[in-house]
Amino acid sequence: MTEDKKPAGDKRNDRADRGSFLDELRRREILKTAGLYAGGAWLLTEILLAVLDRSPFTESVRALAGCVIISAFIAGFPVAVVLAWYFDLNRQGIRRDRSGTPGGMASALGGLVMVVAATAALMWKINPCGLGRVLGVAVLPCSYYGAPGYEHQGPGISAELNYRLSHLPQLHVPSWPSVSTLAGQIVDPAELSEALQVDRLVECGMRRSEARLSVNLQLYDPGADRNLWADEYEGQASDELLLIAEAFRDLIGVDGLNVSARAGGRIEHVNSPPTASAEAWRLFQRARLAEDDGRLEDARALYRETAGLDPGLARAQAALARLHWLAVSREGLSDEERQARLQAAWAHAQRAYAQNSLLAEALAIRRVLLAAGVDPRPETDPAVPAADQETLHERVIELRPNYAEEYYWWSQWLESQGHGSDAMKALEDARQLDPTGRNSPK
């Protein structure tokens, strides 16, 4: 019987020792194939994604195409390795490689399992289709152009849009004080989005005369350096809340953000007008901006004036409760003064909750006051047990997932109960929403 001749140019069959897994890898040129595939796949992906970025397709179509391209190249890696193991490409063409020792083949099976596992881990890590990923968005302070005396409306409109977006669980929305602080420090949009940990920025411009109001919005993708959407909203100066509601509805339905279909009835609740009084709303905006600036006494006076104009504005009542609580936690008060502040805070919190039981701020400050030992009295909502802090916290986050203050307060309570690791986790959640620490109660 004659011995088979080795084909010319088949370097892999020149290996004498083929018993070990590493010898099999070298003989079959698996590492070379893997390197060539990885390099080629990366280059083709970059080219195809660059073409997609300049295509006329919508953002959702581009996202789907990018998902398919990246997923296909990643999933193709173990296929390329398997083909390289079983087939040989040389001068004589493609042929099946039937050589190899039983020990080498057994090792190959283990190696294949490792390759598939590593590929699956890479797919999970990269998550090219964004499965389960929360999109980050922040509304930047409005640039104001118009008559003097209305400058507060610009940041007020931005703060309100940011506030409404913060109720949507499909989005990661940093706190307004952090957004306004970092927007005043960082000019480059890409650096700003990285500092805020968001994927989209909403840029805003506002013009105002005595009788008319105009707001321009555009949704910007800093990663792709591309505007995804822009629109203008114009009306009577007294129609500010109507313009904000219209802009909010349009914004969350924009291709590239598109959470309106997944938000359900939450949108109508979040987007309902907080007051019918234009003057009360103007005062509330001024109070909120004073609070953001750290002028707490001015803010308290303005919130009181707001509540006087419209006693049904639940957010003003909740804000007064929060400011009383902050005074208790920050100022050196006597026991009598402390109790008076706590009872005042509880009264405002109860009014806010009675006016709007779905207001996260009202429920949060009630939880904090109960934790501080305030006597709830008979009017406490029986549906939410007064002593069950965890139930209250979960309800607050359900209503407003991006509520940085609640995470800070929850961290403090957990720490007071000796739950150190859980307290650290809550503090990390707060800092993700408030990277500048502006909302920190300390």
> pLDDT tens per residue, the chain (442 residues)?
444 444 544 444 444 444 466 666 676 677 777 788 888 888 888 888 778 767 777 656 666 777 787 778 777 877 777 777 766 666 665 666 555 545 455 555 656 676 677 767 766 665 556 554 568 999 999 988 888 888 878 889 999 999 999 999 889 999 999 999 999 999 899 999 999 999 999 999 999 888 899 999 999 999 888 888 999 999 998 889 999 999 998 998 887 676 765 555 667 778 888 999 999 999 999 999 899 888 989 999 999 999 999 999 999 999 999 999 988 877 677 888 888 889 999 999 999 999 999 999 999 999 999 988 887 655 545 444 455 899 999 999 999 999 999 999 999 999 999 999 999 999 999 999 999 998 887 6
Using an 8 Å Cβ cutoff, are 306 and 313 in contact? yes
The CA-based dihedral angle spanning residues 258, 215, 180, 430, taken in that order and rounded to the nearest 10 degrees: -30
Q: Where are the domains of the chain?
A: 17-126, 134-273, 276-401
d(CA 44, CA 32): 18
The reported pTM is 0.73
Other beta carbons less than 10 A from residue 440's beta carbon: 15
3-state secondary structure of 173: coil
The CA-based dihedral angle spanning residues 415, 420, 425, 430, taken in that order and rounded to the nearest 10 degrees: 30
Tell the CATH topology of 134-273.
Answer: Rossmann fold (3.40.50)
Structure tokens at 128: 């090219």
CATH architecture of 276-401: Alpha Horseshoe (1.25)
Which residues are registered as beta bridge partners of 205? Answer: 143, 216
Please say whether the dihedral angle defined by the alpha carbons of residues 144, 146, 151 and 152, taken in this order, is positive or negative. Answer: negative
Q: Hey, do 134-273 and 276-401 end up sharing a CATH topology, with the first three levels equal?
A: no
Q: Which residue has the tokens 């408030």?
A: 434
d(CA 246, CA 264): 17
